Amino acid sequence: MTGFEPLIVSSLTGIATQIFREDVNGPIGKLFSRDLSEDLRLAIFKASQRYVKRYTERHGILKVLGMQKPLDLESVYTGVRLLEHQGLKPFASAQSLEAAYRAQAQRSFQVSRTALSGIEVANQEQFLMIVGGPGAGKSTFLRRIGLEALKQAQGHYQHRVIPVFIELKQLGSPSFDLLAIITQELANCGFPRADEFTQRALKKGNLIILFDGLDEVPASNLGPVIEQIQNFVDRYDQNRYIASCRTAAYRSNFRRFTDVAIAEFDDSQIEAFIRHWFMAQGEKKLGLAQKCWEVLSRLEHKGARELAQTPLLLTFLCLVYDRSQHFPENRAMLYRKALRIMLEEWAAEKRIFQDKIYQGLDTDLEEILLAEIAYGAFEQGQLFFEQRDLVDRIQTFLMSNLNAPRRLSGEAVLERSPSSKAS
């Protein structure tokens, strides 16, 4: 966001100042006149400055897959496209998804060609639920919307609001207080009278709340979390809201939200991402972007290009090419590395391995579990599973493998493992 900071701080200061001014008859207005004092103006400016810095440092960088140093998110960001509601219908059951998948005649979850610009949809919809597979870019999209909101007139988000990013995995209990969480975000940056300021901002619709990772909420807390979020949205329905959840875990939980799915990258997006990625690595590597795209476009690397439809794995491919200037000819080796990323790097990024279940089920054992499930499905010509079927297969593995912890249940493994998060 280099070069925009002064303008962004000025814009955010303008919103905050207006909130103070409009509260003439409230708690804040009783303390300050309509013509704000110089001290208050300075306090608002410094708080806005800290807020912009805090948001960009926490949510404006990208570092995954063992990258040596983080990259500015905006330097590598490639605009996403979203599928309209009908694009989600094939996900209603394993049978419908398998039928749609086979009809595509390609290795892809893309079941609809009706895709819209992500930023345009975000501008149109006040309540928006983003669903997608693991590594599809859901969190990145939410973070980017927050950055665009901070830019105000200099950005592509058309609404004059302050972004508040909330990682749902951080909620320690089902009895969390959303109002307190948002207030603390603003108080941490020094906004004067943060409690009254937050209440006023919410009542006037001056915030956009970004709820990231509904699928990462423990199942035991999910019901209360959904209920609290919906009650909060109903109470402060003048504001804008965007939430995210992986496709396999979403059940149209949020009644007021428009459900859309992140579309897989097409060739133009893949090429754009590669160019952005290598440019962010330094001008001396600009030539590598063209070479990488040309190599990836070759027929013998069709399998690698299919992996590239997911931003997370496309990042992996860029790292592979950057280090070796080629892609492995052995496709199985490439797929195995990609699987390891999903089981280790992505899971570590999401902090999944902190769960006690991994005292008995490590990555090596989980890879064997997945291999056995995949082999059985391949023999039967099966591509997708109902939950009960998958639980039974996991339970069979736990009972038959001597190294597997027998104390675990199939339900627990499916709920907590990164393979289920990647379903």
Identify the CA nearest to 135 among candidates 358, 14, 272, 310.
310
If asked whether residues 225 and 277 sit together in one domain, one would say no
If asked whether residues 84 and 107 sit together in one domain, one would say yes
Q: Does residue 28 sit within a domain?
A: no
If asked whether residues 218 and 100 sit together in one domain, one would say yes
If asked whether residues 231 and 251 sit together in one domain, one would say yes
- What pLDDT, on a 0 to 100 scale, did the predictor assign at position 100? 64
3-state class (DSSP) for residue 16: helix
Distances (CA, A) of 30 to 24, 42, 203: 7, 19, 18
If asked whether residues 203 and 329 sit together in one domain, one would say no
If asked whether residues 220 and 274 sit together in one domain, one would say no
What percent of the chain clears pLDDT 70, i.e. is strictly above it? Answer: 78
Cα(53)–Cα(236) distance, rounded to whole angstroms?
A: 27
If asked whether residues 257 and 272 sit together in one domain, one would say no
The pTM of the full predicted model, rounded to 2 decimals, is: 0.81
- The H-or-E segment that residue 279 falls in is helix 267-281
- What pLDDT, on a 0 to 100 scale, did the predictor assign at position 85? 59
- The H-or-E segment that residue 62 falls in is strand 61-62
- The H-or-E segment that residue 393 falls in is helix 387-400
Amino acid identity, position 83:
L
Least confident of 10-14, 25-29, 120-124, 127-131: 25-29
Task: Say if residue 423's pLDDT is above 50.
Answer: no
Q: Does residue 30 sit within a domain?
A: no
Domain count, the chain: 3
Cα(127)–Cα(122) distance, rounded to whole angstroms?
A: 9
**Residues linked to residue 132 through DSSP beta bridges, in sequence order:** 246
- Indicate the DSSP class of residue 312: H
- What pLDDT, on a 0 to 100 scale, did the predictor assign at position 234? 96
- What pLDDT, on a 0 to 100 scale, did the predictor assign at position 393? 87
Q: pLDDT digit string (tens) for 351-362?
A: 554 555 556 677
Handedness of CA 200, 203, 207, 211 (dihedral sign): positive
Least confident of 175-184, 218-227, 247-256: 247-256
| Domain end call among 299, 316, 340 | 340
pLDDT grade for 420, boundaries at 50, 70 and 90: very low
- What pLDDT, on a 0 to 100 scale, did the predictor assign at position 387? 75
- Higher-pLDDT residue of 405 and 289 is 289
- What pLDDT, on a 0 to 100 scale, did the predictor assign at position 360? 64
What percent of the chain clears pLDDT 90, i.e. is strictly above it? Answer: 35
- What pLDDT, on a 0 to 100 scale, did the predictor assign at position 422? 39
Q: Does residue 13 sit within a domain?
A: no
Cα(22)–Cα(42) distance, rounded to whole angstroms?
A: 18
Q: Does residue 72 sit within a domain?
A: no
Q: Does residue 277 sit within a domain?
A: yes
- Indicate the DSSP class of residue 405: -
| Contact (CB, 8 A) for 16 and 44 | yes
The CATH number assigned to the domain holding 112 equals 3.40.50.300
If asked whether residues 88 and 180 sit together in one domain, one would say yes
- What pLDDT, on a 0 to 100 scale, did the predictor assign at position 92? 58
Least confident of 66-80, 93-107, 274-288, 310-324: 93-107
Q: pLDDT digit string (tens) for 147-204?
A: 999 988 788 999 999 999 999 988 767 778 999 999 999 999 999 999 999 999 999 9
Task: Say if residue 2's pLDDT is above 60.
Answer: no
Pairing of strands 81-83, 115-117: antiparallel
Mean pLDDT of 220-241: 93
| Domain end call among 262, 283, 299 | 262
- Higher-pLDDT residue of 168 and 335 is 168
Residue 157 C-alpha from the chain's centroid: 18
Query: Domain span at residue 331?
Result: 267-340
- What pLDDT, on a 0 to 100 scale, did the predictor assign at position 91? 58
Q: What is the dihedral of CA 130, 51, 218, 410, to 10 degrees?
A: 70
- The H-or-E segment that residue 61 falls in is strand 61-62
Backbone angles phi, psi at 348, to 5 degrees: -65, -40
Residue 55 C-alpha from the chain's centroid: 16
- What pLDDT, on a 0 to 100 scale, did the predictor assign at position 421? 43
- What pLDDT, on a 0 to 100 scale, did the predictor assign at position 206? 95
If asked whether residues 183 and 203 sit together in one domain, one would say yes
Q: pLDDT digit string (tens) for 32-90?
A: 445 567 888 889 999 999 999 999 999 998 877 666 778 888 888 999 999 875 555 55
Mean pLDDT of 125-134: 92
Q: Does residue 106 sit within a domain?
A: yes
| Contact (CB, 8 A) for 277 and 78 | no
| Domain end call among 312, 340, 368 | 340
- What pLDDT, on a 0 to 100 scale, did the predictor assign at position 303? 82
Instruction: Return mean pLDDT, the chain.
Output: 81
If asked whether residues 210 and 247 sit together in one domain, one would say yes
Which two tokens mark 204?
A: 């006037």
Q: Does residue 62 sit within a domain?
A: no
Which two tokens mark 96?
A: 């419908």
Going by C-beta distance under 8 Å and a sequence separation of 6 or more, which residues neighbour residue 228?
174, 176, 178
If asked whether residues 275 and 188 sit together in one domain, one would say no
pLDDT grade for 397, boundaries at 50, 70 and 90: confident
pLDDT grade for 235, boundaries at 50, 70 and 90: very high
pLDDT grade for 330, boundaries at 50, 70 and 90: confident
- What pLDDT, on a 0 to 100 scale, did the predictor assign at position 419? 45
Residue 75 C-alpha from the chain's centroid: 17
If asked whether residues 364 and 329 sit together in one domain, one would say no
Q: Does residue 55 sit within a domain?
A: no
